[in-house]
């Protein structure tokens, strides 16, 4: 099974990261890595970006469904699935390898 990379832009609020990681685990994916830039002292930005590497625990798990679930979380503003070696959905077949597909939340 391949490791998928998801970039999430979210509001910096209490429990936001825990909700994201919990959703990933409950949807049948194992978190392989989390990257988050440091918050500088005095920074006024309410948004932050988290990059999560996930791997499906079972072959039947679809990363596209995971991104839909992440979009529904309150603090999530944008979800980008980074395409690697494999295509994760037929709808992404026209996107060049190594590029991301961005899904924005209405809000």
Tens-digit pLDDT profile for residues 67-105: 999 999 999 999 999 976 444 443 344 444 445 555 444
CATH number for 34: 3.30.70.260
Q: Model-level pTM? A: 0.74
Count the Cβ atoms, other than its own, within 10 Å of residue 2: 11
* CA distance linking residue 69 with residue 67, whole number of Å: 5
**How far from 102 is each of 1, 8, 19, 92, CA to CA, in Å?**
23, 10, 20, 11
* Domain hosting residue 45, numbered range: 3-104
> Residue 8 has what pLDDT?
97
**Helix axis angle, 63-71 relative to 16-26, nearest 10°?**
150
**How far from 11 is each of 34, 48, 64, 66, 74, CA to CA, in Å?**
17, 6, 22, 19, 9
**How far from 52 is each of 20, 41, 44, CA to CA, in Å?**
10, 24, 24
Count structural domains, the chain.
Answer: 1
């Amino acid at each position: 099974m391949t490791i998928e990379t998801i970039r999430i832009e979210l509001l910096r609020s209490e429990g936001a990261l825990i909700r994201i990681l919990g959703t990933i685990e409950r949807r049948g994916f194992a978190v392989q890595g989390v990257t988050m830039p440091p918050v500088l002292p005095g920074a006024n930005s309410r948004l932050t970006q988290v990059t999560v590497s996930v791997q499906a625990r079972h072959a039947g798990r679809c990363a596209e469904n995971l991104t839909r679930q992440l979009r529904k979380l309150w603090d999530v503003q944008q979800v980008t699935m980074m395409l690697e070696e494999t295509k994760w959905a037929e709808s992404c077949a026209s996107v060049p390898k190594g590029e991301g597909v961005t899904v924005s939340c209405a809000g």
